[in-house]
Amino acid sequence: MREAFLQQAAALLGPKGLTDDADAMAPWLTDWRGRFTGRALAMASPASTAELSALVKLCASHGVPIVPQGGNSGMSGGATPDESGVALIVSLRRMAAIRQIDPAARTATCEAGVILQVLHEAAEAQGLRFPLSLGGKGSATVGGLISTNAGGTQVLRHGSMRALVLGLEAVLADGAVFDALVPLKKDNRGFDLKQLLIGSEGTLGIVTAAALKLEPAIAARAVLWAGLDSLAKARELLLLAQRQAGPALEGFEVMPAHSLAAVIAHLPGARAPLAGEHNWHALIELVADADGGDVLPARAEQLLETAFEQGLIADATIAASEDQAERLWLLRESVAPAERAQGPAVQHDISVPVDRMPAFVDAAVPAIEAAWPGTRAVGFGHLGDGNIHFHVIAPLGADPVAWQAGDGKAISREVHDIVTQWGGSISAEHGIGQLKRDELARLGDPVALSLMRRVKAALDPQGLLNPGKLL
Ligand SMILES: Cc1cc2nc3c(=O)[nH]c(=O)nc-3n(C[C@H](O)[C@H](O)[C@H](O)COP(=O)(O)OP(=O)(O)OC[C@H]3O[C@@H](n4cnc5c(N)ncnc54)[C@H](O)[C@@H]3O)c2cc1C
């Protein structure tokens, strides 16, 4: 059966489209964080929607499970097969054409394998921009971003991926092509099925293409860095920025002193933006759209002046050039890689209502550090969205595998319990994957879980799409 399937798949996809070579597959069998490693029957790389549709039909007839994969930059192990070795990795990376950029309609129609950074550059070349960015932009693909409903650093103003997908094409579990690619401003023909596929982590269908919303390029931006005593003050600064800057406020990120120190140790040539020690740092981006670029610097200075007067910030700087602005953003985007280089940790991508975030962090950090002596808990990220990445770093010298399976697991349960008590979500933007599947089953609303299982059974009755993930 195995050989028959592989022969038919090879005939369908050609030499570039299928491999079971161990070296070729190795980089794609472990997730970005190195938490999960699996085995696969083979890795298929279809070149078109038609090829993928035929491949999925073949998988359905042979009962071969499929693990869809984009850039493999996901944080929840969703793109990593299990250890059975029976699943086929279906990589979308060869389907990487930007089919069209329509400047008048401000849309980009892309195949699933387009890398986010490539999309940014293509939009910029047309005087437009795709307003979603994240640290993994050099490898994350459009299909992966859609399937995880990714967020990033501009959600505050533009929403997460869900808000930016205008049309979608996907191959379903039986190989049928769901074609809702043409964006319609108004369309009330029943359920909005594309929204069901967005954020479904490859469990309901394989995204092959999307029509995405673009925005006009910005005329100018001001990037500010502020040092603060507490997260509560960062929250007040956020409110001030929202009042003063309104829609010009595009990003508001925070990191504690420990995260900045980790980045400086990790990133060659990196320097702290401010002199002196500060418990917390905020990175703020204000933008001017078509015009208003000339008043933007004054606006940024005014914001900092008011913040100083109100005692919210201890020190601050404004990037004097685009190069400096990029460097400030690089500090923020390097927190995850820097922390990964430091050693074992358990990560929690959590959200609570924005106004409760400072109190949540002030309560959760000491609770965790006291219960597991030697650990360090840090929260950083998207304060503007009520979403922080709450990481607990293992004590020095801890054995990575044993710690993660023992204390790490217990810590994650405790963090998720606390988040749930605070009315929050155990997955704000990274999805569930295999990392949080059991926790979702433990803490999720039973009615919502039952609905999700029924949807899954209806769309994928054989359970072949990304088994063992999410549900
Ligand atoms: C340094 C760094 C910073 C990051 N920062 C952020 C951040 O700020 N915000 C954020 O939201 N994420 C962030 N991420 C996580 C990651 O970039 C996103 O989850 C991204 O959406 C994953 O895209 P990918 O193409 O790598 O998907 P993969 O990792 O390959 O897959 C992710 C999931 O989507 C499924 N999938 C992939 N492609 C398809 C497809 N075509 N059809 C159906 N299912 C598919 C997979 O099966 C898997 O379940 C970061 C990652 C890194 C490395």
Q: What secondary structure, in 3-state letters, does the chain show?
A: CHHHHHHHHHHHHCHHHEECCHHHHHHHCECCCCCCECCCCEEECCCCHHHHHHHHHHHHHHCCCEEEECCCCCCCCCCCCCCCCCCEEEECCCCCCEEEEECCCCEEEEECCCEHHHHHHHHHCCCEECCCCCCCCCCCEHHHHHHCCCCCCCHHHHCCHHHHEEEEEEECCCCCEEEECCCCCCCCCCCCHHHHHCCCCCCCCEEEEEEEECEECCCEEEEEEEEECCHHHHHHHHHHHHHHHHHHEEEEEEEEHHHHHHHHHHCCCCCCCCCCCCCEEEEEEEEECCCCCCCHHHHHHHHHHHHHHCCCCCEEEECCCHHHHHHHHHHHHCHHHHHHHHCCEEEEEEECCHHHHHHHHHHHHHHHHHHCCCCEEEEEEEHHHCEEEEEEECCCCCCHHHHHHHHHHHHHHHHHHHHHHCCCECCCCCCCCCCCHHHHHHHCCHHHHHHHHHHHHHHCCCCCECCCCCC
Quote the number of domains for the chain.
4
Ligand 1 center–CA 371 separation, angstroms: 32
Q: If you take atom 15 of ligand 1, which residue's CA is the nearest one?
A: 74
Which region among 46-50, 172-176, 271-275, 396-400 has the lowest average model confidence (pLDDT)? 396-400
Task: State whether 152 and 191 are in the same domain.
Answer: yes
How confident is the model over 75-130, as pLDDT tens digits?
999 999 999 999 999 999 999 999 999 999 999 999 999 999 999 999 999 999 99
- Contacts of 23 by beta carbon, 8 Å cutoff, 6+ apart: none
The CATH number that applies at residue 285 is 3.30.70.2190
The pLDDT of residue 276 is 92
Q: Which atom of ligand 1 is nearest to the CA of 469?
A: 49
8 domain residue, yes or no: yes
Task: State whether 119 and 159 are in the same domain.
Answer: yes
With cut-offs at 50, 70 and 90, classify the pLDDT of residue 292.
Answer: confident
With cut-offs at 50, 70 and 90, classify the pLDDT of residue 24.
Answer: very high
Task: State whether 172 and 271 are in the same domain.
Answer: no
Question: Does 291 have pLDDT greater than 80?
Answer: no
Task: State whether 198 and 237 are in the same domain.
Answer: no
Structure token digits, residue 158: 């533009």
The CATH number that applies at residue 117 is 3.30.465.10
With cut-offs at 50, 70 and 90, classify the pLDDT of residue 309.
Answer: very high
Task: State whether 277 and 198 are in the same domain.
Answer: no
- List the domain range (segments joined by +) for residue 58: 2-91
Task: State whether 209 and 104 are in the same domain.
Answer: yes
47 domain residue, yes or no: yes
With cut-offs at 50, 70 and 90, classify the pLDDT of residue 419.
Answer: very high
Ligand 1 center–CA 372 separation, angstroms: 31
Closest CA to 213 of 119, 78, 320: 119
Task: State whether 103 and 212 are in the same domain.
Answer: yes
Ligand 1 center–CA 150 separation, angstroms: 7
435 domain residue, yes or no: no
Which region among 101-115, 220-234, 330-344 has the lowest average model confidence (pLDDT)? 330-344
Residue 249 pairs with which residues in a beta bridge? 286
How confident is the model over 372-416, as pLDDT tens digits?
999 999 999 999 888 999 999 999 999 999 999 999 999 999 999
Ligand 1 center–CA 309 separation, angstroms: 41
The pLDDT of residue 450 is 98
With cut-offs at 50, 70 and 90, classify the pLDDT of residue 13.
Answer: very high
Contacts 24+ apart (CB under 8 A), 288-296: 288/218, 288/219, 288/220, 288/221, 288/248, 289/216, 289/218, 289/219, 290/216, 290/219, 291/219, 292/219, 292/220, 292/248, 293/219, 293/220, 296/220, 296/221, 296/222, 296/248
Structure token digits, residue 273: 């933006």
How confident is the model over 338-350, as pLDDT tens digits?
988 888 999 999 9
Task: State whether 206 and 230 are in the same domain.
Answer: no
With cut-offs at 50, 70 and 90, classify the pLDDT of residue 293.
Answer: confident
Closest CA to 231 of 167, 172, 313: 313
Task: State whether 388 and 287 are in the same domain.
Answer: no
Mean pLDDT (the chain) is 95
CA distance 353 to 357: 7
Task: State whether 207 and 269 are in the same domain.
Answer: no
Residues with C-beta less than 6 Å from any ligand 1 atom: 32, 67-75, 78-79, 92, 112, 134-136, 139-141, 143-145, 147-148, 150-152, 201-202, 206-207, 336-337, 429-430, 433, 466, 469
Question: Does 290 have pLDDT greater than 80?
Answer: no
Task: State whether 134 and 210 are in the same domain.
Answer: yes
Best of 28, 134, 383 to mutate for ligand 1, by most ligand atoms within 8 A of CB? Answer: 134
453 domain residue, yes or no: no
Task: State whether 195 and 245 are in the same domain.
Answer: no
With cut-offs at 50, 70 and 90, classify the pLDDT of residue 438.
Answer: very high
How confident is the model over 37-62, as pLDDT tens digits?
999 999 999 999 999 999 999 999 99
Q: Which residue, 216, 250, 270, sits at the end of a domain?
A: 216
458 domain residue, yes or no: no
Specify the higher pLDDT residue, 180 or 354.
180
The CATH number that applies at residue 34 is 3.30.43.10
Ligand 1 center–CA 73 separation, angstroms: 5
Q: Which atom of ligand 1 is nearest to the CA of 381?
A: 8
The pLDDT of residue 360 is 94
